[in-house]
Chains A and B, each alone.
Chain A
Amino acid sequence: MTLDRRRFLGISAASIAGSLLAACDKNPEGAKPLLQLAERANEQVEGGLFRHSAMNHVGAKARLAGPSFPKYFISPTVPVWDPAAGGVWRLEVSGAVRRPLSLTLDDLMKLPRVTQKVDHFCVEGWNARAIWSGVRVSDIARAAGITDDAQYVDFAGFDKGYHESWDMQSAMHPQTLVAYGMDGYLLTPAHGAPARVHSPVKLGYKNTKYLTRVVFMPGRNGGYWSDQGYEWYGGT
């Protein structure tokens, strides 16, 4: 009697464990709605925890990644802005704004400059330190006069259509920059020249490089990696 029950329990436990393992292995479509539900719920939690006063601090003595800072782009070769083809590089600020802007690099550099030594958090699990110089996205938003419809912002660049859209709260964080300088020098093509988004509050893939357009919008617009299955929020 006891042996039978024990056997029964053993077999049940083994079959539950077996089906669980099999399920995990195949990553079944059945789990997808649950995972998406969890992602939406996590966004609520992440947004609720988010504070503009919670900042990333890197010690003054912390080592910079310098030349080891990983270089990344989706084009087959380093994207370089070609003035012969596209004219003078400009950052177009549009969408839910009262005054659309078209800023040259000089215009951008005339806006209040912020220089900060912060972490760059990659989704892969590493972090790297650099000193970034640029303009706060919140200052650009103010200059363009965003309207109440500006609930999200899409950052798009000339790297083969790379873009990522953000929640407004993260974009307005004081450490979220349109950066044109890195470690005291102008940005190099390998790191997103002439300008890129950089913020410690989002994972690396949300920080669009080779930036050309900042579009404020009432809804989210996905993104290059978000559309492929990575979390849209991607916050730190």
Chain B
Amino acid sequence: MAPLVKRNHWVIRLTHWVNLVAVVLMAGSGMRIFNAHPAFARPGETFPLNPWEGTSIPAWLTFGGWLAGARHWHFAAMWLLVANGLLYLGFLFFHGEWRDIVPRRGDVRDAIEMLKFYLFVRRDHPPQGKHNALQKSAYFAMAVLGIVLVLSGLAIWKPVTLWFITALFVNFKWARFVHFTAMALLLLLALVHVFMVFSVDPYSLRAIFTGWYDRARSPEARNARPFYHLFGGTRPAPSSEAPRP
């Protein structure tokens, strides 16, 4: 029998997939809203920090159809995102899973070792627990970005009523820039996450659907780099089940 371990609690699995829906809705409608004024400069001013001032996001990446439609989607889906985010963060806090992603001393060193491994400087996969140090920092950064997105979102939704939140980001213009930048970083990390799942640890897909994970197929056990099977010199996946044809 496979030495399966329960890796992801059902709350983690549920919030992961609800989050996917919420983030797709929020990012898609948010980019459509952005396209109504795809710049950060106020009228008559410049905004040198953005080299693409005035450049729209390709329409196929957006949805909501038009500004008003996208706003309705954005202000409806935000409740899904926030409720789901609170459930996730509350669960992490009370169930102890925060230990899986909150950085601790030694993570920098471990992250450097992982990078060396991925860059073929180091031969063997560094030992790890549930996540390696790079994964941990990415997941932690995504949670932090989520919080920044909600706060900066409130800041530009209610710049007068919630002026004290807007003031955290200096003013409306900067809050909008932070909101957009945090979204772009979150999408980038999400893309890297999906790439790494399929290229390094496809066996973790089972863990995010059913919760079960086969440790014998972990990247550590297989010494797996991205697309490890395309390179020579890696250990084959040890078969934990009866041989199959």
A85 CB within 8 Å of chain B: no
CA–CA, A125 and B53, complex, Å: 13
Please, which residues of chain A bring their CB within 8 A of the CB of B159?
A: 56, 119, 121, 127, 236
Q: A9-B209, A125-B33 are in contact. Are A201 and B160 (CB under 8 A)?
A: yes
Residue contact B28 to A121, C-beta cutoff 8 Å:
no
Residue contact A128 to B43, C-beta cutoff 8 Å:
yes
CA–CA, A101 and B158, complex, Å: 33
Within 8 A of A (CB), among B1-36: 21, 24-25, 28, 33-34, 36
Residue contact B68 to A229, C-beta cutoff 8 Å:
yes
Residue contact B161 to A20, C-beta cutoff 8 Å:
no
Residue contact B76 to A35, C-beta cutoff 8 Å:
yes
Residue contact B68 to A228, C-beta cutoff 8 Å:
yes
Number of interface residues of A (CB under 8 A): 51
Of B59-67, B86-94, B182-190, the one contacting chain A is B59-67
B75 CB within 8 Å of chain A: yes
CA–CA, A27 and B206, complex, Å: 32
B172 CB within 8 Å of chain A: yes
A51 CB within 8 Å of chain B: yes
Please, which residues of chain B bring their CB within 8 A of the CB of A63?
A: 44-45
Contact of B76 among A9, A38, A46, A66 (CB under 8 A): A38
Please, which residues of chain B bring their CB within 8 A of the CB of A126?
A: 37, 39, 41-43
Rounded to whole Å, the gap between the CB of A133 and the closest CB of chain B is 19
- The number of inter-chain residue pairs (CB within 8 angstroms) is 117
Q: A49-B158, A127-B42, A230-B71 are in contact. Are A6 and B205 (CB under 8 A)?
A: yes
Contact of A231 among B33, B37, B72, B160 (CB under 8 A): B72
Residue contact B172 to A229, C-beta cutoff 8 Å:
no
CA–CA, A194 and B1, complex, Å: 83
B interface residue count range (under 10 / 10 to 19 / 20 to 34 / 35 or more): 35 or more
Q: Can you name the residue of chain A whose Cβ is closest to the Cβ of B38?
A: A125
B69 CB within 8 Å of chain A: yes
CA–CA, A50 and B160, complex, Å: 9
Within 8 A of A (CB), among B150-203: 157-163, 172-173, 176
CA–CA, A13 and B16, complex, Å: 13
A150 CB within 8 Å of chain B: no
B98 CB within 8 Å of chain A: no
CA–CA, A175 and B63, complex, Å: 35
CA–CA, A126 and B5, complex, Å: 51
Q: Can you name the residue of chain A whose Cβ is closest to the Cβ of B25?
A: A24
Q: A54-B160, A55-B160 are in contact. Are A65 and B42 (CB under 8 A)?
A: yes
**Residue among A13, A66, A229 with the most chain B CB within 10 A?**
A229
Please, which residues of chain A bring their CB within 8 A of the CB of B42?
A: 65, 126-129
Residue contact B158 to A236, C-beta cutoff 8 Å:
yes
CA–CA, A69 and B172, complex, Å: 17
CA–CA, A134 and B206, complex, Å: 65
Residue contact A123 to B163, C-beta cutoff 8 Å:
no
Q: A24-B28, A24-B63, A50-B161 are in contact. Are A125 and B68 (CB under 8 A)?
A: no
Within 8 A of B (CB), among A64-78: 65-70
User: Could you list 15 A-B pairs, sorted by A, with CB under 8 Å?
Assistant: A6-B205, A20-B21, A20-B24, A27-B65, A34-B76, A35-B72, A38-B75, A41-B79, A49-B162, A65-B44, A119-B159, A127-B159, A129-B42, A236-B157, A236-B159
Q: Which residues of B contact A (CB under 8 A)?
A: 21, 24-25, 28, 33-34, 36-37, 39, 41-45, 63-69, 71-73, 75-76, 79, 157-163, 172-173, 176, 205-206, 209
Nearest first, the 8 closest Cβ-Cβ pairs linking A and B are A68-B44, A38-B76, A125-B37, A124-B37, A124-B36, A229-B68, A24-B63, A68-B43
Q: Which residues of A contact B (CB under 8 A)?
A: 2, 6, 9-10, 13, 20, 24-25, 27, 31, 34-35, 38-39, 41-42, 46, 49-51, 54-57, 63, 65-70, 119, 121-129, 175, 200-201, 225, 228-231, 235-236
Sample of 7 further A-B pairs with CB below 8 A, known A9-B205, A46-B158, A119-B172? A27-B69, A34-B76, A55-B160, A127-B42, A128-B43, A230-B71, A235-B161
